[in-house]
Structure 1
Amino acid sequence: MIKSKLLWEFIEGVDVRIKNVTEFLNDICPELEYRVAKIHDPFGPAVVDDTMQLLVISQETIQGGMKINEIRKANDLPELHLLPLQLIDEPNPGPNEEKKISSSNTRIRMLGTVIHPIIPNTKIPRSPYIIGLTGGIASGKSGVAKHLTDLGAHVIYCDDIGHEVYKAGKPCFDALLVYFGKRIIADNGEVNRKILGEIVFSDKKELDKLNSIVWPHILEEVENIINNTDKKVVVVEAAVMLMAGWQNRCHEVIDVRELLFNYIRIWIVSTIICHINLKIK
């Protein structure tokens, strides 16, 4: 359910939150007995617990409280007394924040903060500092990469390198020709990507073989670029980063798995700035 919340990635696990709430309640009034329940739907125990008598709600969730009473009535349970409370206004809301005090605002203000310590990969040279940037189609990688380029990082786009290694005369081209044969070669002497695609996307074994041929050549080109750059930070942008195992060649990896809000992009960029300022000296 939390995935519908803004910046839900910052929300702690349910067991941690229950523990914190329970400790808070016991500090306020230890004489009472508390039962904090996990909920898996919008209503929770309110629609099935016949011992409940009162439901405290906010002004904006009155309709939800009324819906709970409808369900209780249908289940032959007594209706709950609804006690709506007025929400407290946020005294200094930011331009992208809610006007009420809310956990969403708290999470927005966490952007740019490194919450968990990042342990860099010490098996590769300290400099340049290599960051893997990965994620699915339309996940926001290109936008993040552009921000990082503007900040002075050297961004390597593995898709572009992939197109280059296919070209005639390259070692990868020769390896593809040996395995797949002349059927994948177009009239202009280059790899016919359409024919190659029809071969590999209908047969997983062939796709795995293609990847086993192409990925090492892409990685070799990436490492050549890294070895010759004068930048302190290099970002390797690759959708196949984790599948290819290239995370082992990075100090850390940012995995963008969903369409990103501008908030998330700001968080990522701010995190990178933190690394540049604190680690790469």
Structure 2
Amino acid sequence: MSKPWILGLTGGIGSGKTAVAQHFIDLGVHLVDADHAARWVVEPGRPALDRIAEHFGQEVLLPDGQLDRAALRGRIFQNPEERRWLEGLLHPLIGQEILAHLGRAESPYAILVSPLLVESGQHRLAQRVLVVDAPEHLQLARTIQRDHVTEEQVHAILQVQAKREERLRHADDVIVNDRDLSWLKAEVERLHHFYLTLRGGQP
């Protein structure tokens, strides 16, 4: 059997990429979530967590030895240098974790879903990129409703994520998710059937 090719799936906050990812899973496609990989590499007992505690101090750990994400976020959010140090440590480890999980795929193609696919350079792991896009007013409304956050907080996240133009520049395929869920599912199915005809992610 030929090795599955990799589809990178991304989209801004509130674009609907989680719903798209779930529908691909329902269709039997092997999917790896970069956010999950990012959590796995900092689990207790993994070398990354020791390095983080060494660098930032024990106050970034919870009493049970898990990473205190809120405390760590607080340390790096206002400090670009510390954020770069952390990214330099974690990105290669997350990349290895992702490749190991993608390597277990048995579907004709596998999906790497990552909110920071473009920014982190993870798009280089993929042969093809699908961007889920949505008008900003919909991104705001969905995220505020889902996460119970303020408009300011959503704007702050949008600032950190790649600009829409940058994401779309890397896209081979785009779903503009501004309709209902049944339309979205139909779009995913249409793309899935197209992807099954591809070898190595290209027509």
**If the length of structure 2 is used for normalisation, what is the TM-score?**
0.69
2:61 pairs with 1:168: no
State the Cα distance separating 1:255 from its structure 2 match: 1.7
Q: Aligned AA for 1:267?
A: E
Paired residues for 1:1-281 under 5 Å: 127-258=3-134, 260=177, 261-262=179-180, 263=183, 266-279=186-199
State the Cα distance separating 1:234 from its structure 2 match: 0.7
> Does the CA contact (< 8 Å) of 1:130 and 1:251 recur in 2?
yes
- Secondary structure of 1:244's match? coil
What is the Cα-based RMSD across aligned positions, in Å?
2.0
Partner of 1:52: none
Partner of 2:162: none
State the Cα distance separating 1:209 from its structure 2 match: 2.1
- Mapped to 2, the partners of 1:271 and 1:257 lie a distance apart of 15
> Does the CA contact (< 8 Å) of 2:31 and 2:102 recur in 1?
no
**If the length of structure 1 is used for normalisation, what is the TM-score?**
0.51
> Does the CA contact (< 8 Å) of 2:31 and 2:111 recur in 1?
yes
Unaligned runs of 5+ in 1: 1-125
- Mapped to 1, the partners of 2:117 and 2:47 lie a distance apart of 21
State the Cα distance separating 1:204 from its structure 2 match: 2.0
- Mapped to 2, the partners of 1:154 and 1:131 lie a distance apart of 10
- Which entry has the higher C-alpha Rg, 1 or 2? 1
CA 1:272–1:186: 2 relative to 1, 3 Å: same
- Mapped to 1, the partners of 2:111 and 2:126 lie a distance apart of 9
State the Cα distance separating 1:131 from its structure 2 match: 0.4
The structure in which a higher percent of residues are helix is: 2
Q: Aligned AA for 2:129?
A: V
State the Cα distance separating 1:265 from its structure 2 match: 5.2
- Secondary structure of 2:67's match? coil
Q: Aligned AA for 1:176?
A: I
> Does the CA contact (< 8 Å) of 1:134 and 1:241 recur in 2?
yes
State the Cα distance separating 1:271 from its structure 2 match: 2.0
- Mapped to 2, the partners of 1:180 and 1:234 lie a distance apart of 36
CA deviations over 1:97-153 (Å, ceiling 9, x no partner): xxxxxxxxxxxxxxxxxxxxxxxxxxxxx7211001011111111111111112110
- Secondary structure of 2:196's match? helix
Unaligned runs of 5+ in 2: 139-176
> Does the CA contact (< 8 Å) of 2:8 and 2:130 recur in 1?
yes
- Mapped to 2, the partners of 1:178 and 1:158 lie a distance apart of 24
> Does the CA contact (< 8 Å) of 1:156 and 1:237 recur in 2?
yes
